[in-house]
């Protein structure tokens, strides 16, 4: 079997199953074996129903003790039954699987595996896995991989497919020489694939993940090195010398710049006026005021007579930036335009024309900026904001719209400096450390679920004072309809707990882009009081009137991500609050980790603590969104592998070429 072949060459995968796989972006054998489990489940000893822990996965063995009931609620068909063991009773529920009614009969015993919740004072397990006791006995004590799934594709089918595809990777020869592997405790390559998909035990799984993270970093750094060799130091074709004009621009701002902002602007001016093309990263915590730094750079560029472009990841953010920038720039006689996917075609054409004729100085927009039709007359500077949302290639594509324009990227991801130097080794870095003066520090609390009602009262009080509120519910897997039910269900409960005049709306990843935009804009307009959202919440959005951020199941997020979410509030003059609900209060380590957020509002400190507390190799937490999207590697959790990859690359880049990785990852048939 070849890694490049279509997955339909695997026995048992027909057109129908293949089309389910293709929804997950899996078309080839190579893509299949490179789709790693998103979690592993350990099937342990069943516990007494009375001892089940709330909010986490439990295994119970019980007898069906009621008749199995099916009822309809709105569009849902709900199957319920009650099971009991010697210690207590447990309600079991499934949504939209009415056929399950005939699976179970009163008096029979099953093992159920799933999360236990309390509803109406009863212990409830929703959508559990179920097994006959003998069947369960067979899988006990094994680590079971859980793959990302989609409708019509079961975990069992996925597992079987990977098993059949094993031969495709087992014959590969490791690109990493044995002596280097031994010296650095790196598992052999094919062995790592084996143990990621079929882990024999936790120790081997850990080592396999470690090796895979290493490979991802090594390949990334290797490519970066090649890239850098290709474009050593480019000659500056766009000398921009506008120190005086920028000083005036800064003087006219309604506030004084912080030291970090000033330094960043100085760095930028010195780059753009120098002999080589600028290639700079501005890194600053959320709310540190990166936008104005971008504005100053664009201003200098336009004053010099060149065009500039600012690319952001979402339409809402593009509009928000445009509204601010266009007003300021037009007062200086500079012309701006906004180009996004939903711009009407007629207007788009006009913008294309004006860009070519240089009737537009500054263009702001989304990915729409890198479409082929967009042509500039003399592009001198490109900026990408919230750059972690873009790949290196998208960044570069914007730059190819000009003749080696200056490049500036902005990031709010607080990576410790040592890591940043590796991750962004092709960029110079300016760091904005401090927040603008006069901000009231956000008041934080980490509390248990029993605090929820108090929190709702607090939220009602803030809305009564004309403030707005974000509530975040985690959605682990976008393809999981179960979690979707949770968000809508959650919103219903929330509405019931708040006074009826409060407007509550939901935002989630399943919505169409324009639906999401519409809700975001209404929220910015103050027409929505409480926005319940999954983490699709737009990055970079500035709503200074939002004063409360409540995060459900905080324990499921990394600290750095929680800090990013928190950055949505505390942007105005009003006092802001962050309520982190801890669903695992009994877990001392989790609580200790979350408490870091209570003690500090400093993103860099938090990222460091996250790294220290979770340590490398914590693979059961939700993976943090790093700056570059790796499959398994995580710049915080696997910081040691990142350093090791850099070290080996520095010593052996000539002989250790990650071409096998290239081969394994062969995609696109
Ligand atoms: P981020 O770094 O997260 O992109 P923004 O650029 O959106 O932050 O800035 C957040 C808010 O702070 C904006 O409302 C902006 O006008 C304001 N701001 C920026 N710099 C300063 C400053 N030096 N003093 C006071 N307010 C500032
Ligand atoms: Mg920003």
Confidence label for 18 from pLDDT (cuts 50, 70 and 90) = very high
Instruction: Let me know: does 290 contact 410? Beta carbons within 8 Å.
Output: yes
Cβ of residue 571 lying under 6 Å from some atom of ligand 1: yes
State residue 395's pLDDT score.
Answer: 67
Q: Give the Cβ contact number of residue 476 at 10 Å.
A: 15
Lowest-confidence pick of 273-287, 299-313, 475-489, 561-575: 475-489
The pLDDT value given to residue 511: 78
**Is the distance from CB of 307 to CB of 377 less than 8 angstroms?**
yes
pLDDT of residue 617: 34
State residue 537's pLDDT score. 65
Mutate to test the pocket of ligand 1, among 436, 438, 537, 572 (most ligand atoms within 8 A of CB): 436
> pLDDT class for 81, splitting at 50, 70, 90?
very high
User: Picking from 128-142, 167-181, 199-213, 335-349, which range would have the lowest pLDDT averaged per residue?
Assistant: 128-142
Selected residue with higher pLDDT from 650 and 465? 465
Q: Is residue 532 scored above 80 in pLDDT?
A: yes
DSSP string, 451-483: GHHHHHHHHHHHHHTT-EEEEE---S-TT-HHH
Three-state secondary structure call for residue 257: coil
pLDDT category of residue 423 using cuts at 50, 70 and 90: low
Residue located nearest, by CA, to atom 22 of ligand 1: 436
Rounded mean pLDDT, 506-529: 86
Contact present, 192 and 611 (Cβ < 8 Å): no
Flag the least confident range among 129-138, 215-224, 264-273: 215-224
Contact 236, 304 (CB under 8 A): no
Ligand 2 mean position, distance from CA 475 (Å): 24
Residue 62 has pLDDT above 80, yes or no: yes
- C-beta 539 within 6 A of ligand 1: no
pLDDT confidence band for 241 (50 / 70 / 90)? very high
- What is residue 232's predicted lDDT score, i.e. its pLDDT? 62
Give residue 399's pLDDT: 80
The rounded Å distance from CA 259 to ligand 2 centre is 18
Which distant-in-sequence residues (6+ apart) come within 8 Å of 57 by Cβ?
41, 113, 114, 115
Residue 287 Cβ contacting ligand 1 at under 6 Å:
yes
Q: Whose CA is nearest to atom 12 of ligand 1?
A: 289
Question: Could you read off the pLDDT of 371-390 as tens digits, one per residue?
Answer: 889 999 999 999 998 766 66
Q: How far is the CA of 266 from the centre of ligand 1 (A)?
A: 18
Mutate to test the pocket of ligand 1, among 287, 289, 433 (most ligand atoms within 8 A of CB): 289
Given a cut of 90, whether residue 200 has pLDDT beyond it is no
Q: Closest by alpha carbon to 468, among 375, 541, 390, 368? A: 541
Statement: residue 348 has pLDDT above 80: yes
Helix (H) or strand (E) holding 84: strand 76-85
Beta pairing partners, 363: 309, 337
- Neighbouring C-beta atoms of residue 206, cutoff 10 Å: 17
Is pLDDT at 421 greater than 70 in this prediction?
Answer: no
DSSP string covering 87-147? TEEEEEEEES-GGGGGT--TT-EEEEEEEEEEETTEEEEES-EEE-HHHHHHHTTSEEEE-
Average pLDDT for the chain: 86
Q: What is the C-alpha separation between 7 and 28, in angstroms, rounded? A: 5
- Global pTM reads 0.66
Q: Which long-range contacts (CB under 8 A, 24 or more apart) does 222-230 make?
A: 222/649, 222/653, 222/657, 222/658, 224/425, 224/426, 225/649, 225/653, 227/392, 227/426, 228/425, 228/426
In whole angstroms, give the CA distance from residue 342 to residue 315. Answer: 8
Q: Is 284 in the pocket of ligand 1 (CB under 6 A)?
A: yes
Judged by average pLDDT, the poorest of 29-38, 332-341, 612-621 is: 612-621
Structure tokens at 411: 């990031």
* Longest pairwise C-alpha distance within the chain: 85
Residue among 385, 374, 400, 388 nearest 298 (CA):
385
**Ligand 1 contacts CB of residue 286 (under 6 A):** yes
Percent of the chain with pLDDT over 90: 45
412 C-alpha to center of ligand 2: Å?
8
Residue with the bigger pLDDT between 387 and 66: it is 66
Q: Which residues pair with 376 in a beta bridge?
A: none
The confidence score (pLDDT) of residue 640 equals 86
**293 CA closest ligand 1 atom index:** 6
Q: What is the pLDDT of residue 612?
A: 66
Token pair for 415: 């990576």
257 lines ligand 1 (CB under 6 A): yes
pLDDT (0 to 100) of residue 626: 35
Query: For residues 379 and 308, is the Cβ–Cβ distance under 8 A?
Result: yes
CA–CA distance, 540 with 317 (Å, rounded to integer): 7
Amino acid 485: pLDDT? 54
Q: Which residues contact 23 (CB under 8 A, 6 or more apart)?
A: 150, 153, 479
Using one digit for the tens of pLDDT, what is the confidence trace for 620-659? 333 333 334 577 777 767 888 888 998 999 888 777 888 7
């Amino acid at each position: 079997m070849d890694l490049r072949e279509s997955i339909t060459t695997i026995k048992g995968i027909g057109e129908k199953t293949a089309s389910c796989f293709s929804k997950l972006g899996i078309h080839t054998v190579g893509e299949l074996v490179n789709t790693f489990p998103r979690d592993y489940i350990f099937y342990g000893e069943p516990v007494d129903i009375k001892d089940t822990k709330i909010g986490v996965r439990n295994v119970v063995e019980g007898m069906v003790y009621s008749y199995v009931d099916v009822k309809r609620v709105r569009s849902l068909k709900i199957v319920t039954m009650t099971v009991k063991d010697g210690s207590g009773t447990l309600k079991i529920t499934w949504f939209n699987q009415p056929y399950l009614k005939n699976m179970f009969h009163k008096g029979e015993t099953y093992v159920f595996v799933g999360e236990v919740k309390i509803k109406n004072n009863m212990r409830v397990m929703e959508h559990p896995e179920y097994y006959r006791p003998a069947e369960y006995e067979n899988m006990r004590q094994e680590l079971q991989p859980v793959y990302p799934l989609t409708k019509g594709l079961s975990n069992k089918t996925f597992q079987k497919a990977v098993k059949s595809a094993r031969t495709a990777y087992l014959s590969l020869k490791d690109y990493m020489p044995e002596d280097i592997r031994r010296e650095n405790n790196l598992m052999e390559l094919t062995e790592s694939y084996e143990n990621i998909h079929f882990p024999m035990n936790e120790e081997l799984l850990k080592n396999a993940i470690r090796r895979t993270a290493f490979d991802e970093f090594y390949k990334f750094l290797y490519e970066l090195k090649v890239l850098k060799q290709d474009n050593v130091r480019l000659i500056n074709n766009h000398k921009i010398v506008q120190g005086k004009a920028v000083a005036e621009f800064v003087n006219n701002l309604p506030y004084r710049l912080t030291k970090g902002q000033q330094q960043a602007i100085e760095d930028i001016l010195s780059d753009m006026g120098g002999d080589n093309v600028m290639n700079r990263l501005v890194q600053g915590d959320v709310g540190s005021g990166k936008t104005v730094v971008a504005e100053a750079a664009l201003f200098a560029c336009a004053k010099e007579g060149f065009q500039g472009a600012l690319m952001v990841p979402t339409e809402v953010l593009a509009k928000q930036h445009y509204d601010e920038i266009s007003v300021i720039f037009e007062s200086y006689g500079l012309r701006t335009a906004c180009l996004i996917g939903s711009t009407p075609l007629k207007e788009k054409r006009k913008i294309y024309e004006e860009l070519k004729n240089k009737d537009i100085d500054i263009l702001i927009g989304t990915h729409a900026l890198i479409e082929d039709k967009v042509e500039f007359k003399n592009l001198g500077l490109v900026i990408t904001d919230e750059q972690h949302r873009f790949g290196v290639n998208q960044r570069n594509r914007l730059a190819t719209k000009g003749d080696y324009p200056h490049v500036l990227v902005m990031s709010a991801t607080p990576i410790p400096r040592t890591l940043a130097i590796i991750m962004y080794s092709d960029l110079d870095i300016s760091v904005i450390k401090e927040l603008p003066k006069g901000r009231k520090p956000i008041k934080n609390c980490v509390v248990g679920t029993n605090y929820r009602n108090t929190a709702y009262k607090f939220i009602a009080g803030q809305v009564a004072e004309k403030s707005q509120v974000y509530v975040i519910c985690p959605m682990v897997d976008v393809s999981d309809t179960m979690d979707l039910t949770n968000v809508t269900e959650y919103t219903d409960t929330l509405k019931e707990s708040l006074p009826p005049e409060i407007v509550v709306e939901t935002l989630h990843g399943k919505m169409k882009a324009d639906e999401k935009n519409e809700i975001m804009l209404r929220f910015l307009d103050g027409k929505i009081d409480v926005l319940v959202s999954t983490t699709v919440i737009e990055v970079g959005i500035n709503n200074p009137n939002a004063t409360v951020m409540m995060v459900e199941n905080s324990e499921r997020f990394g600290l750095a991500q929680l800090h990013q979410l928190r950055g949505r509030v505390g942007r105005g003059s009003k006092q802001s609050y962050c309520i982190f609900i801890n669903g695992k209060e009994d877990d001392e380590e989790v609580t200790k980790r979350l408490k870091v957020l209570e003690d500090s509002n400093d993103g860099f400190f938090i990222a460091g603590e996250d790294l220290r507390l979770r340590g490398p190799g914590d693979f059961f937490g939700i993976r943090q969104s790093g700056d570059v999207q790796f499959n398994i590697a995580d710049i915080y959790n696997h910081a040691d592998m990142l350093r090791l990859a850099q070290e080996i690359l520095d010593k052996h880049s000539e002989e250790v070429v990650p071409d096998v990785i290239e081969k394994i990852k062969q995609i696109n048939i």
